[in-house]
Chains A and B, each alone.
Chain A
């Protein structure tokens, strides 16, 4: 009896798996956006692939599952394969998993991955460990494989993040965004709201340029939502109390606008505490954290559970009147009715700053927010260096940039801004791309720390505790700075 039942169950399992395997190749992927045209047999790419002996080779890469990566996997990889006969397998996974696997591979020099996603903030760790191949050198050594359509000079200044001290380049940028200030144009331009706001605060309602204004607006809309029975709050806060995203929002988007740069670490002696010459627990930093934690009072209740994902989702659901949102989300929030309830109502502006910060940013001393993004790099351990070089040049052509920009709201080349398709989208997202082009230099990526992740792990619990109210902002930063000093010594910096 039991035996027969087990046989039946096993039979079903086996059948099920056979049916599934039979279906698998038959099912076609959903329709994709138009791929770049294939130039045919005699193309430069085909010849180069033959020269390098790459036909039939499979290249494997790993990236975070973002729209730009998926576009690379679904569209560019297929076009490249048709063009050259080189197959691309791009593993798109979650942010945490991507790092573990890429680092394991490069650390052990196993050569599983031929190209890896390098986020702007992790590149210094990778360079310090000699994980990456010098692309400038590799191109110079193999002139016959240098595509006429590829030139590092065509990229925006964002590519500077992927250079070493001598100016050699280690990554081909594939995405770049600003973390900008988004606001709800429909609410900000409603005459009744404008009147009520002016009556209460004595000045006109407009996108905030100072932190005081930001707070007023947040308070006003939270009250407005409550009075009208709406699911509306004054601001977003990327305040997850168990995830690195809150650390990043504070140190890369909030603290700089109060004049605290580089996580408050003195890069001359690698110290964080004020006593040792750092700024992590300075009065300005404490003011910044107090301001940000206070914003939780005007944020939707999910704020303390929100990473960058949920912040964008909350804003797209129309639950916040303004907020700091990663620019990669700006386009879909503003244009995609399948995912967003605020289509057509998204305004884009520069984030509010404290006095003197804008001057700092213009002179290059400081910055007003986070310039995020990443590149594909070539691990030293890859066994297919030259074939990967071709792929990296392929995605770095000017001709593939515009469609990619529209699919993933990312721009890495100057010329992409002028493309008519991009300009069309630009109009729909309230000039996000124009803002990125013009104000881009005011933003900056993470500081060049080779110990980025290790230090973040030590500091972030204090930020979480400040957000959950377990510590006051001042206590949190005092403890965080002390812990940072100790960890830096432990890591061998600033003895």
Chain B
């Protein structure tokens, strides 16, 4: 049923730390690897080794420049389904293929019901849903629902593949419906934010801002100090900067 269930107490989701992300794309690759072969696979590719490779990815890492001059910084920005509290992608679905789970808020697609009308991908402002042209159905992040409840895995592995693989721990997984959970407390401490809150989708996933950058001003001070240094140090500096 594509009507939304009553809001669940448990809201599983991700917290993305933009201060830590180094843009290595390991999360995107691990996601593709796990989900291509997992319950929600295949994530079809067309022309994978050719001139115009294209395929379905649940998670993509953008990179942006933010700010100008000495205040500027590079921000790597992984983006996947935000498992919104008000997912219009679910309510527009004409077949009941899209649904939000009552027990934990995960937004899923039942690919056996999907007719591939693509309306849900239009309704998502974040571009979380990608159409699989080979299978003719819509695909999206499952929050690795086939890992996080998987009794045959050791408890440490029961996290989404993207979270497990992240080398800088820039991705946190937990219950954002519980204000005392590790993720909720981190969001509060670090002033985590929603993407496009003005559209009213109330995403569950949060992003943590990059910390104010170490001022490049300190580097400028060093340069000034060199200029005032004695002849020998200035000579060493010239030699080293050559």
Partners in one complex: no
- Interface residue ranges, A against B (CB under 8 Å): none
